[in-house]
Amino acid sequence: MQIFLDTADIEAIAARAHSGLVDGVTTNPSLIAASGADIFERIGEICAAVDGPVSAEVVATDFDAMLAEGRKLAAIAPNVVVKLPLTTDGLKACHIFAGEVVQTNVTLCFSINQALLAAKAGASYISPFVGRVEDMGGDGLDLLMGIREVYDHFGYETELLAASLRSPAHVESAARVGCDVVTIPPKVFDQMICHPLTDSGLEAFLADWKKTGRKGLA
């Protein structure tokens, strides 16, 4: 399973990019706005910091303008993935980009039907929003399972990218469902590594070693 960071914070990305654990980055207009950076400059910086796919989202809502914005974003670097909203115009633009071999991430997906249509449009990635489904009292895990089932049933190659994940438990659920990718805030990435028993166990090991009076091994 691939792990993407869901952020436009270049320092947060750079601090984790060389761990071998970060496979890509996703952004959205809210994250770019929060960073205060120019979108073209920031996407360029992120693309230089990570080897993998970097999703950059259009802000246009009509087909022609989406194509123009998507092409401009795709020209920033070879690893840019054009992120498009799951609307009629977004799906039409996705279909055109698929023909041009431009990678796409269809976002704001909240139903199996939407995911099915994105796959038919040739999306490279589909982004169901787990946390926002749960915000509305829905079952985000069930949405992931349904999309996985339908994609596997028909052999669609669109990658299932679980988005709007807000906790390590969300990541574990997405992994168990067989999502191809999870995108997570840096904080959740850090939380995935930590366990209190790892910390207390390491502390005990080192305390026992210190009692022997021996030094480090290097």
83 is catalytic: yes
Encoded one letter per residue, x for contact with ligand G3P by CB under 6 A and - for no contact, window 118-157 reads -----------x-xx-------------------------
Residue 192 in tokens: 């995935």
Label residue 194 exposed, middle or buried (CB < 10 Å: 0-12, 13-18, 19+): exposed
Q: Which one is catalytic: 83, 92, 187, 215? A: 83
> Least distance (Å) from ligand G3P to the CB of residue 6?
5
Interface with ligand G3P includes 26 (CB under 6 A)? yes
Among positions 3, 4, 5, 6, the unique one binding ligand G3P when judged by CB under 6 A: 6
Interface with ligand G3P includes 166 (CB under 6 A)? yes
**Cβ atoms 162, 183 nearer than 8 A:** yes
SS3 128: strand
- DSSP E strand stretches across the chain: 2-6, 24-26, 54-57, 80-85, 104-109, 125-128, 159-162, 181-184
Among positions 3, 80, 143, 163, the unique one binding ligand G3P when judged by CB under 6 A: 163
Residues in binding contact with ligand G3P, number by CB under 6 A? 10
Rounded to 5 degrees, what angle do the CA atoms 13, 16, 18 make? 110
Site residues, ligand G3P (CB under 6 A)? 6, 26, 28, 129, 131-132, 163-164, 166, 183
**Residue positions annotated with a catalytic role:** 83
